[in-house]
A = this chain, B = another copy of it.
Amino acid sequence: MSPRRVTLADVAKAAGVSRPTASLVLSGRGRELRISQDVEQRVLRAADELQYRPNIVSVGLRTGSTRTIGFVSDTVATSRLAGDMIKGALEAARERGVMLFIGETEGDPELERLLLQAMHDRQVDGLILASMFTRTIKVPKGVTAAPAVLLNALPKQPGTLPAVIPDEIEAGRLAARVLLDAGHREGIYVIGAGPGMRNVPPDTVAGVERLRGIREALGEAGVKLAGGRLCEDWQPEYGLTETRELLRTRRPRALICFNDRIAMGAYQALDDAGLKVPQDVSVVSFDDHPIASWIRPKLTTVALPHYELGRKAVDVLFDEIGRDQPDPGRKGEVHRVTMPLRTRESVAPPHTGGSAG
């Protein structure tokens, strides 16, 4: 089928030198080891003419480095967000000439074990352990064989592994500030979690930190959260029912939804109640899911920087790989990636619409 790969031996023969000589020239160490200009040129020409490319499998065997890293996540399919994270990692890896193995655990520890094993069997240089929504995870035993980084996750035992997560606290502050800047002071409700710090879905870092940021920013402005409703799951249907429930007794001026899918449900509930966004009710949200710009009016939301998270994870991983002896001091550093605001059409000053509050 294919006309056998060109090997280093072929290049050496074509250049009339030995294999090691060719190797030295091609690895750039020819100079320091005093290979003559003449030989160097011959080797380089031969390599070029034969289109020689080193076999990375062989190099991997010899040197231990396969120029390959593993990306293990709990799910790849959840949403486009996952794809963006992989995309970021992919591009950062490509810039370093490194390839990515992808694996999915489905949350099954046994699958995870097998997957990590399979990656180590292939001598990966490092591992990225990714979660598709931010949370704390128990670091599996198998990761210690190679440098590793947590992505969108925090270790249950802090300090064991470096982690890269979105800066959710600042995101919460930002969402609150958007409303404050628009002039809102009253009738601000949260949908998805809260209003108290205890009313949060379990194990979600995002819930806790977004809420904390929101409360901090409002508090600093002397504004109090008017109320909030916890959603069992952050899906449109729950946003719909909880918002509908809220509207039975209250008349909000602004909603902070804990993600865009909840916001989508909230839109439906507001529409059913005859309330216009943003004239009657302003809505801010989190994630910047594609639907945020599909629903009308387009949703102002604080974006999860999935692409950047993926890139950053690779950066941190290579720091880790580069560092020979594990420096115990900065072992488990947590890197927070800024969540940018996407300003669209769902926020307006209060009292714009006809009916007063």
Contact = CB atoms under 8 A, between A and B. Distances in A.
A86 interface: yes
Interface string A269-305: 0000000000000000000001100101000000000
A78 interface: yes
A154 interface: no
Contacts of A79: 80, 83, 290
Contacts of A77: 80, 83-84, 86-87, 307
A117 interface: yes
A346 interface: no
Contact of A123 (B57, B75, B86, B123): B57
A276 B73 CA distance: 42
Interface string A45-70: 00000000111111011000010100
A33 interface: no
A296 B268 CA distance: 9
Contacts of A145: 2
Contact of A326 (B1, B78, B103, B146): B1
B103 A101 contact: no
Nearest to A290: B79
* Stoichiometry, copies per complex: 2
Nearest to A68: B122
Contacts of A60: 57
Contacts of A121: 53-56
A9 interface: no
Nearest to A77: B83
A217 B189 CA distance: 51
A237 to B, nearest CB: 8
A352 interface: no
B66 A76 contact: no
Contact of A103 (B54, B82, B83, B90): B90
Contacts of A86: 76-77, 102
Contacts of A311: none
Contacts of A261: 294
A264 interface: yes
Nearest to A101: B99
Contact of A61 (B61, B84, B264): B61
B296 A294 contact: no
Contact of A76 (B90, B122, B326): B90
A10 interface: no
A56 B315 CA distance: 27
A307 to B, nearest CB: 8
A125 B98 CA distance: 18
Nearest to A86: B76
A104 B102 CA distance: 13
18 contacts: A1-B326, A53-B117, A53-B120, A54-B121, A56-B123, A57-B57, A57-B122, A66-B122, A75-B87, A76-B90, A77-B86, A79-B290, A86-B102, A90-B102, A90-B104, A99-B118, A99-B122, A101-B101
Interface of A: 1-2, 53-58, 60-61, 66, 68, 71, 75-80, 82-84, 86-87, 90-91, 94, 97, 99-104, 115, 117-123, 144-146, 236, 261, 264, 268, 290-291, 294, 296, 307, 326
